[in-house]
Amino acid sequence: QVQLVQSGAEVKKPGSSVKVSCKASGGDFNTFTISWVRQAPGQGLEWMGQIIPVFRSTKYAQRFQGRVTFTADESTTTAYMEVSSLRSDDTAIYYCARKIDHWNRSDPWGQGTLVTVST
Amino acid sequence: DIQMTQSPSSLSASVGDRVTVTCRASGNIDNYLNWYQQTPGKAPNLLIYAASNLQTGVPSRFSGSASGTDFSLTISGVQPEDFATYYCQQSFVMPYTFGQGTKLEI
C-alpha cells in the first residue's frame, strides 16, 4: 500500500528557510496529488495547498501564497515543501498526505515533520 | 472560503457510550465532507469520506450523516482507543478547510 515518509525535525532561525520532504512508496507517483497540512502546537489542522507532480500544478491557500513553494521529483517519488522567511508562528508540525479520487479525501498521511523556529 | 464550525470543542464520555460530533458548513459543500481522527503524537487518520462512507478498515461503530450543510459523526459504543481528537474537513472547494476539532475525553 502507499506510504509517505517525511524528513526529520528541523530547528531554524527566524528569516531563514526550511525544506521538508515527503517520499512516496507503494504506488504510482505519477497519479498522485500531494496535499500539505500544518498544525501549530496544541492547535487544529490547517490546509496549506497541494501539488500534482506529473503536471507541476500547484495550488496554495491564500495565506501561504508567496512564502511557500511546493515541488516534486518524479525520479525519486518525493514531494517537497519549502517555507521561506520563517517566523516564530511557523513553528508547527507539517504533514503531507495523498489526495485520492474525486471526493478529495486524504489518505495516507506522512508521519509529520516538526519545524521549530527560534532564535 | 468555506468555514467549518465544529461542536462541541470537547466531549466527555465513558466506554460504551454513543457520542455525536457535529460540523456545519458556511456554504454548500455537496457532501464533500471528511472526518479524521487524530491521537496524540500521530498523524490524522481518515475515518469517513463523502459524509457517510466508511474508509476501508475503519470499525463499523463509526458512522456519518448529512442534512444540508449540517454533518455529524457518531461513534456507537465508544472504545478506549477512540479517545482522540476528531476533525471535519470540507473537500468541495479549495482551500479545503477543517473544523476546529473535538476532543473526546474519558
Mean of pLDDT values over A104-113: 96
- Three cell numbers, residue A25: 512508496
Question: ∠ at Cα B56 (A97, B91), nearest 5°?
Answer: 45
Out of A50, A95, A106, name the one closest to residue B46 (CB): A106
**DSSP class per residue in B6-50:** EE-SEEE--TT-EEEEEEEESS--TT-EEEEEE-TTS--EEEEET
Inter-chain residue contact B50 with A103, CB threshold 8 Å = yes
Q: Quick check: A88 pLDDT over 90?
A: yes
Identity of the residue in A44, A61, A104 whose CB atom sits nearest the CB atom of B100: A44
- For residue B49, give the nearest of A44, A105, A111 by CB distance: A105
Contact A104 B50 (CB under 8 A): no
Q: Using pLDDT thresholds of 50, 70 and 90, give the confidence band for residue A14.
A: very high
What would the pLDDT profile of A24-52 be if each residue is shown by its tens digit? 999 999 999 999 999 999 999 999 999 99
Which residues of chain B make contact with A105, given a CB cutoff of 8 A?
A: 34, 46, 49-50, 55, 91
Residue B106 has pLDDT above 90, yes or no: no
